[in-house]
Amino acid sequence: MTALGVQAQRMLGQRRPQRSFFESFIRTLIITCVALAVVLSSVSICDGHWLLAEDRLFGLWNFCTITNQSWPHCLRDLSQAHVPGLAVGMGVTRSAGAMAVVAAIFGLELLMVSQVCEDIHSRRKWAIGSFLLLVSFVLSSGGLLTFVILLRNQVTLTGFTLMFWCKFTASFLFFLNAISGLHINSITQPWDQPEKF
């Protein structure tokens, strides 16, 4: 038997079992939802205006006062908002939000690579990607909580802007997809083990 024949037999013997349509669909859905969460989170941080309280607009990057004029007057010096610790707190919120997006991007990349380049390490890549999404959730929700605690005296449920709710939704999606990713990885058959008949 030639060397090519031996190699072909080895490759046929190491062929992994085919995944079911349902498993492939769930994994694709998780990847799609994570991509959506990354976009929502990025947009909400870049815009940064999260809370409207009477005639004031609180954002991650600046503080605005709204008068009768058509455009709000915004200041980058957050200390002029006269809220104790606002400048430092917004720095923490921005940093946590940005790190959450970075972790989610790396997690998303690992999830996609595990599906495109399927090998014996694919399950480990998927698990690490899901864990990074869990880290994204912790950072993202920590940033949101810091924001709400800092502005607790101005917070009303109707005062939160669309950008705040985008960030809230992104945090929820990070958590949901991280848990779903870890769960589907634990209940499915390892790809590097042959099927048992």
Asked if 128 and 185 touch (Cβ cutoff 8 Å), the reply is no
Burial class (CB in 10 A: 0-12, 13-18, 19+), 69: exposed
Asked if 50 and 164 touch (Cβ cutoff 8 Å), the reply is yes
Task: Read off the pTM.
Answer: 0.81
Of 150, 109, 143, residue with least CA distance to 128: 109
Ordered by start, the domain boundaries in the chain are 22-48+84-186
Along the 197 residues of the chain, how does pLDDT read in single tens digits?
Answer: 455 454 545 554 455 556 678 888 999 999 999 999 999 999 999 988 898 888 888 888 888 887 776 677 778 887 777 788 888 889 999 999 999 999 999 999 999 999 888 777 888 999 999 999 999 999 999 999 999 999 888 888 889 999 999 999 999 999 999 999 999 988 876 655 544 43
